[in-house]
């Protein structure tokens, strides 16, 4: 049996005392820092990356991976308790998770997040082990046309998340795509939109954009509602979910795991798209969609499972194709390169202990997370009782130090300040910032594949209709647009009739 043989190699590598220790350290540090709002896995990993250079490649990767999903777990905890996304894929967890906390169900929300993540992690690990060789071949079929179509689909799905109008979400995606293009153009080396500043040649710092638009904007808009924050303290007696909540969470967790595993596999996908897509789906499927945004259990359970499944399976394109599906994966590639291992399909063959050891360590790490964190829930819950006037200066300072630590320079802080003002403007205009962030990440990749596709077809736009995969993805995106926009138009029309009457 190939599967058991492969997993055997993996567990053998991951269960060595050394690797187990670093997996534990990674998960622990990741959770601790992920709990701190605004300091997500990207900044954490970037900070700790140099420390892993002296380790064995497998050990280093295992530790970084541990930080990654540890921080994700911590990020969800922060999102639920404080309504600040500890990192980008936890944005969705804020929506309903925090509302649950406000209703006094913080303990249940945390338990759902932990158990949902663990279930998703277990399933995703099995899926990776069973199908990764085959899935890698499917991913090989992706050309620039399919990449482009997939990104269009991913962005469209993400825009569904926007609370306000769909069209404003589309505009935000485009704004993000444009901001993502700042810096050196890959093909020609031209510096675009840098306004002559050398520090902009590598683009705008992602963490600065994220902190400005989410963490800092949230501080500004919440500062006056200080007293409202204090009433979110949950009763410590309700740490576990009720049977009813468990029942409500079960199906969304299964669906979220499926969505996450699939979307995470696609290059450019991963935890964030998965959680967005799962949230959108649960909202569509729900019998009471009006509960979403007001503490719907399904709106937390689905995305939590999806982002963990997506986070796990997003390692596949990185390990099999050498393509980073997100910033964290880019850092992982950097870590591999330091050890003179070029990520690609042959890693699975030449260094099976890296590929399978990493996968096995993910399951071990997730198990550690549940064991470690569920008993610690009372401690995290206590965080919510802290007055906001104590909390927000801490968030500000920790974020600033984090921004500074990325490259030991203050420029990202200035950018974060700028994006705070922009974020306030968006808040005023009721434009959801999440789609912007996604566009920002995908901007350069999308341009590259768009250009390459049209280069291959010699400028013929019809190439996007000549691949089955691309047609399927583009029409799915079109259907999403239709499904979302048509009811709006219909509602608008009927409302107009009411007005006339």
Partner 1 sequence: MSSTLNRKADIEAGLFFTLFGALTAGLSLQYQMGTVAAMGPGFFPFLLGVLLAVIGLIIFAKGLLARGEVVRTLPLWPAILITASLLVFAFLVLTAGLAAAVTAQVVVALRASEHFTWKRALALSAALLIFCYVVFVHFLGISVPMIAV
The single-letter DSSP state of residue 86 is S
Beta-strand ranges (E) seen in 90-131 are none
Nearer to partner 1, 208 or 273 (CB): 208
Q: How far is residue 416 CA from its own chain's centroid?
A: 20
Q: How far apart are CA 262 and CA 281, in angstroms?
A: 14
Q: To the nearest whole angstrom, how small is the minimum distance from the Cβ of residue 221 to partner 1?
A: 7
Q: Is 190 helix (H, G, I), strand (E, B) or coil?
A: coil
Q: How far apart are CA 278 and CA 254, in angstroms?
A: 11
Nearer to partner 1, 33 or 381 (CB): 33
Q: How far is residue 103 CA from its own chain's centroid?
A: 26
Query: What's phi and psi for 240, nearest 5 deg?
Result: -110, 155
Q: To the nearest whole angstrom, how small is the minimum distance from the Cβ of residue 46 to partner 1?
A: 11
Query: What's phi and psi for 284, nearest 5 deg?
Result: -65, -40
Please give the C-alpha separations between residue 448 and each of 31, 60, 100, 444, 463, in angstroms, as whole numbers: 35, 31, 42, 6, 16
Nearer to partner 1, 24 or 450 (CB): 450
Nearer to partner 1, 221 or 350 (CB): 221
Q: Is 192 helix (H, G, I), strand (E, B) or coil?
A: strand
Question: 262: how many CB neighbours lie within 10 A of its CB?
Answer: 18
Q: To the nearest whole angstrom, how small is the minimum distance from the Cβ of residue 405 to partner 1?
A: 4
Nearer to partner 1, 51 or 236 (CB): 51
Nearer to partner 1, 220 or 251 (CB): 220
Name the residues that contact partner 1, by CB under 8 A.
47-48, 164-165, 167-168, 170-171, 174-175, 177-178, 181, 185, 187-188, 190, 192-193, 216, 219-221, 223-224, 226, 387-390, 392-394, 396-398, 400-401, 404-405, 408, 410, 413-414, 416-417, 420-421, 424-425, 427-431, 447, 450-451, 454-455, 457-459, 461, 492, 495-496, 499
Helix, strand, coil abundance in the chain, percent, nearest 5: 75, 0, 20
Q: To the nearest whole angstrom, how small is the minimum distance from the Cβ of residue 182 to partner 1?
A: 9
Q: How far apart are CA 189 and CA 26, in angstroms?
A: 37
Q: How far apart are CA 7 and CA 344, in angstroms?
A: 20
Q: To the nearest whole angstrom, how small is the minimum distance from the Cβ of residue 411 to partner 1?
A: 8
Nearer to partner 1, 9 or 184 (CB): 184
Q: How far apart are CA 223 and CA 214, in angstroms?
A: 14
Nearer to partner 1, 9 or 398 (CB): 398
Nearer to partner 1, 5 or 493 (CB): 493
Q: Where are the alpha helices (DSSP H) in 224-294?
A: 226-230, 243-265, 271-285
Q: To the nearest whole angstrom, how small is the minimum distance from the Cβ of residue 441 to partner 1?
A: 15
Give first-to-last CA distance, the chain, whole Å. 72
Please give the C-alpha separations between residue 309 and each of 97, 123, 180, 302, 482, in angstroms, as whole numbers: 18, 8, 26, 11, 28
Residues 6+ positions from 166 with CB-CB distance below 8 Å: 159, 160, 481, 484, 485, 488
Q: To the nearest whole angstrom, how small is the minimum distance from the Cβ of residue 45 to partner 1?
A: 12
Residues 6+ positions from 137 with CB-CB distance below 8 Å: none
CA torsion sign, 393 to 395 to 399 to 402?
positive
Residues 6+ positions from 455 with CB-CB distance below 8 Å: none
Q: To the nearest whole angstrom, how small is the minimum distance from the Cβ of residue 431 to partner 1?
A: 5
Q: To the nearest whole angstrom, how small is the minimum distance from the Cβ of residue 281 to partner 1?
A: 25
Nearer to partner 1, 8 or 393 (CB): 393
Nearer to partner 1, 36 or 80 (CB): 36
Q: To the nearest whole angstrom, how small is the minimum distance from the Cβ of residue 186 to partner 1?
A: 9
Q: To the nearest whole angstrom, how small is the minimum distance from the Cβ of residue 170 to partner 1?
A: 6
Nearer to partner 1, 291 or 447 (CB): 447
Q: How far apart are CA 60 and CA 19, in angstroms?
A: 9
Please give the C-alpha separations between residue 381 and each of 14, 36, 98, 222, 252, in angstroms, as whole numbers: 32, 13, 12, 20, 24
Q: To the nearest whole angstrom, how small is the minimum distance from the Cβ of residue 398 to partner 1?
A: 8
**155, two tokens:** 């962005």
């Amino acid at each position: 049996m190939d599967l058991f043989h492969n997993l055997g190699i993996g567990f053998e590598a991951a269960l060595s005392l050394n690797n187990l220790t670093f997996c534990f350290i990674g998960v622990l540090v990741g959770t601790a820092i992920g709990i701190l709002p605004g300091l997500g896995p990207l900044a954490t990993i970037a900070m700790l990356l140099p420390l892993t250079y002296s380790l064995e490649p497998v050990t280093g990767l295992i530790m970084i991976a541990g930080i990654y999903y540890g921080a994700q777990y911590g990020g969800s905890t922060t999102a639920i308790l404080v309504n600040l996304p500890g990192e980008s894929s936890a944005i969705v967890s804020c929506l309903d998770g925090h509302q649950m906390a406000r209703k006094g169900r913080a303990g249940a929300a945390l338990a759902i997040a932990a158990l949902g993540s663990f279930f998703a992690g277990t399933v995703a690990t099995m899926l990776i082990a069973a199908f990764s060789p085959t899935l890698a071949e499917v991913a090989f079929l992706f050309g620039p046309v399919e990449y482009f179509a997939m990104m269009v689909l991913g962005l469209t799905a993400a825009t569904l998340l926007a609370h306000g109008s769909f069209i404003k979400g589309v505009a935000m995606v485009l704004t993000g795509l444009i901001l993502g293009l700042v810096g050196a153009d890959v093909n020609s080396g031209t510096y675009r939109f840098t306004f002559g500043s050398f520090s902009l040649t590598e683009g705008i710092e992602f963490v600065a954009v994220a902190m400005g638009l989410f963490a800092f904007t949230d501080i500004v808009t919440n500062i006056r509602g200080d007293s409202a924050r204090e009433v979110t303290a949950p009763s410590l007696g309700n740490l576990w979910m009720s049977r009813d909540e468990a029942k409500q969470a079960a199906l969304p967790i299964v669906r979220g795991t499926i969505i996450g595993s699939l979307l995470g596999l696609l290059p450019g996908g991963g935890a964030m798209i998965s959680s967005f897509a799962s949230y959108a789906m649960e909202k569509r499927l729900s019998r009471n969609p009006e509960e979403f945004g007001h503490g719907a259990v399904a709106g937390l359970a689905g995305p939590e499972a999806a982002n963990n499944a997506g986070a796990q399976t997003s390692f596949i394109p990185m390990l099999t194709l050498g393509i980073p599906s997100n910033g964290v994966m880019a850092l992982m590639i950097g870590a591999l390169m330091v050890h003179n291992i070029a990520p690609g399909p042959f890693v699975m063959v030449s260094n099976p202990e890296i590929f399978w050891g990493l996968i096995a360590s993910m399951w071990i790490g997730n198990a550690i997370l549940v064991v470690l964190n569920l008993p610690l829930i009372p401690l995290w819950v206590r965080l919510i009782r802290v007055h906001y006037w104590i909390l927000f200066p801490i968030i500000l300072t920790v974020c600033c130090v984090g921004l500074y630590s990325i490259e030991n320079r203050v420029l990202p802080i200035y950018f974060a300040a700028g994006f705070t003002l922009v974020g306030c403007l968006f808040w005023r205009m009721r434009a959801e910032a999440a789609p912007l962030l996604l566009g920002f990440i995908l901007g350069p990749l999308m341009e590259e594949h768009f250009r390459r596709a049209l280069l291959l077809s010699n400028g013929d736009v019809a190439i996007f209709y000549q691949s089955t995969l691309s047609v399927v993805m583009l029409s799915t995106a079109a259907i999403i647009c239709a499904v979302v926009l048509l009811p709006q138009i219909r509602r608008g029309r009927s409302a107009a009739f009411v007005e006339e009457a």
